[in-house]
Chain A
Amino acid sequence: MDEIFANLAIGFSTALTPMNLTWVVIGGFLGTIIGMLPGLGPATGVAILIPISYSMDPTTALVTMCAIYYGAMFGGSRASIMINTPGDASAIVTCFDGYPMTKNGEAGKALGISALSSFFGGMVGMIFLVFFTLPVAKMALKFGPAEMFSLLILALTATVTLAQGNLMKGFLAMALGFMVGTVGIDPQSGIFRFTFGVEALQEGVDFLVAMIGLYAVAEVFKNYGSLEKNVSLDTSAIGKVWVSWKDFKRCFGSMVRASPLGFVVGVLPGMGGTVATFMSYAMEKGLSKNPEKFGKGAIEGVAAPEAANNASSCGALVPLLTLGIPGSGTTAVMLGALMMLGVRPGPVLFQMHPEIAWGVIASMMVGNVVLLLINMPLAIPLVKLLKIPTRIMLPLILGMAFMGTYFLNYSSFDFVLVTLFALGGFLLMKLEVPLPPLVLALILGETVELNFRNAMTISGGDVMFFLERPLSATFLGLAGLSLAYFLWKNRKDSRKAR
């Protein structure tokens, strides 16, 4: 307990420096805007805003990125409420009741409760995060290569199975990620693999180049189809963005139930905000005395998913910070950006650089307050940004994306790679192949192979080694279980369909 408060004190002294505080505000603001714009998810947002962090020291960079990530979670629901178009997948559920509230003339109330419950969920998630990280980090310090390998396999399998959809497509996406990850020099033997004689590929494919292509540029390609669409939005009818004491009391229970649920779901790889919001919405509807009001503008129907979403984004930071394993596309981009700055999240981070690890946690608490202050009084001017037409947004996103690519290595070859990844990402989206397993395999590939080879060397080439060690066997067992669950559920669903 004392240790936690001592650590938090270190964290706050880092978070409250004028420099970091300024960036929390800027990052939160930019994140809110990016999260709000339809078709521009948080992963795209973080990817195109990465160049901002290039000249920063690692702590400030991480603080800024978390603020962007977190702001995007606040912003995502604005478009759901106002124009029935979610800013990202985790804001889909907010459309169910948020938009009906707007049609009932309660837009101000909906915006207010969404900001307030996001804040509430975020705060609960943050407190859980504070108590969770240290034990997990301490346990992870004891992991050997076999445990690490099995844990990574568990994380990757869970991303494939929990994300739903076609299992084989998920595994294929994972394999594609590993393939791209093995391009370049093999660090253990020094030979070049899969470079096709191209000199620029000898150091491998830069992860962030792939991310900018797969998310930002491919996203623009997708949006080329909806250039003509115009947003009709009436901001004069929003009214006051505020939550009355009566409404707060009505939603309090929903927020209290949704936040821990969201956090736990967020910790699990592959689940994340989208699943958390759907689960909490279903739970509230089930518990409600008047479930028939859901979908017609029930205020709890906005409060619960919003709280769950922000709590889950805190949960997602547990595996990222303590194990260096991202659970979603967005956290994978953050990990990539950090590695470029020379910070490797993982258990060692808490030992060697407590000021970075705890500074980030503390700054997220500060950020949560800042975002509430941004999102309540400034809600109306922010919502007006939704009127920016696509024909202006798309060139700006492309401009930022290409500039970000250039900053990575100052190499024009990266422009070729970025467009290749964008074409590939667009093709995979068309074919309904999920991107998260690919992205995770790409960033974790080197670690997976390294731990696999180290473990195999220790055991003298005996594959059974992974099953003989209890923790490693447990992780592999869980991976098998998630696979079995998926197959069982699939079979049940297809029987039902007949």
Chain B
Amino acid sequence: MTRDMIVGLLGLFLGGGYTAMALMLPVSAVQDGVGPRLFPCIVGGVAFLAGLVLVLRERACPREERKVFSFEFREDRKVYVKILLTVAGGIAYGMLLDPLGYVLATMGFMLFLTFMVSSRAVQNLAISLLFPLVTYVVFSNLLSLSLPRGILGELLPYF
């Protein structure tokens, strides 16, 4: 499949689905003359039409001229694995922030990230230790934004 074909199908699918959902929206008793449905329907229509044009144009194009697109999952698997790990790590970080506190959770997150991209242990440890401490001091104390202290609690300094 070519790039344009994939994008076109995406437009058809998203535009169609979105419009269908917009048509099912309830109409409330108190509202302006237009209501909540019309605008989303236009938007969905634009997406659907753009997708349709892309697909039709690709089909009209002779087979030899089409440039086949590949995500290169196999060749770039190292990149995709890193992306998936980052997503998983990021979500886990979000869940651990409140219970563990900013400093500890961020240390964990940074250790995870740095060891994922590099094997230099000393450098990685230094970054993972310094980043949370420096940002904590800057944001929590100098810029007075509140960050969760978590289980470290009173151990962290107030300025």
Contact = CB atoms under 8 A, between A and B. Distances in A.
B43 interface: yes
A396 B94 CA distance: 17
B153 to A, nearest CB: 18
A190 B35 CA distance: 10
- Among A221, A391, A396, the most chain B Cβ lie within 10 Å of the Cβ of A391
Given A395-B117, A431-B6, A169 B54 contact: yes
A452 interface: yes
State the majority secondary structure of interface residues on B. helix
Interface in B24-60: 25-26, 28, 30-36, 38-40, 43-44, 46-47, 50-51, 53-54, 57
A415 B90 contact: yes
A179 B18 contact: yes
Interface string B140-158: 0001110000000000000
Contacts of B11: 168, 172, 175
Contacts of A234: none
A356 B46 CA distance: 38
A449 to B, nearest CB: 5
B39 to A, nearest CB: 5
Given A431-B6, A457-B34, A422 B87 contact: yes
A370 to B, nearest CB: 21
B68 interface: no
Interface in A50-67: 51-52, 54-55
A87 to B, nearest CB: 21
Interface stretch (A72-80, A401-409, A474-482): A401-409
B66 interface: no
B39 A403 contact: no
A406 B94 contact: yes
A176 B47 contact: yes
A92 B17 CA distance: 40
Contact of B127 (A191, A392, A430): A392
Contact residues on B (Cβ < 8 Å of other chain), bracket:
35 or more
A179 B14 contact: yes
B122 interface: no
Contact residues on A (Cβ < 8 Å of other chain), bracket:
35 or more
A452 B113 CA distance: 46
Contact of A394 (B14, B71, B117, B123): B117
Given A179-B14, A182-B39, A399-B131, A453 B32 contact: yes
B83 A423 contact: yes
A194 B3 CA distance: 28
Nearest to B54: A168
Contact of B15 (A169, A175, A224): A175
A399 B76 contact: no
B33 A457 contact: yes
A360 interface: no
Given A51-B139, A412-B95, A395 B114 contact: yes
B50 A175 contact: yes
A182 B43 contact: yes
Contacts of A432: 3
A189 B51 contact: no
Contacts of B145: 51, 54-55, 407
Interface string A424-462: 001000111100000000000000110011101100110
B5 to A, nearest CB: 10
A378 B46 CA distance: 50
3 nearest CB pairs, A to B: A415-B94, A412-B94, A175-B47
24 contacts: A168-B8, A168-B11, A168-B57, A172-B10, A176-B14, A176-B47, A182-B40, A182-B43, A189-B36, A191-B28, A191-B36, A193-B22, A194-B18, A225-B76, A225-B79, A391-B118, A395-B110, A396-B127, A399-B131, A416-B91, A416-B94, A426-B83, A452-B34, A456-B34
Given A224-B79, A396-B127, 5 more contacts: A51-B145, A190-B30, A193-B22, A419-B86, A419-B87
Interface of A: 51-52, 54-55, 166, 168-169, 171-172, 174-176, 178-179, 182, 186, 188-191, 193-194, 217, 220-221, 224-225, 227, 390-392, 394-396, 398-400, 402-403, 406-407, 412-416, 418-419, 422-423, 426, 430-433, 448-449, 452-454, 456-457, 460-461
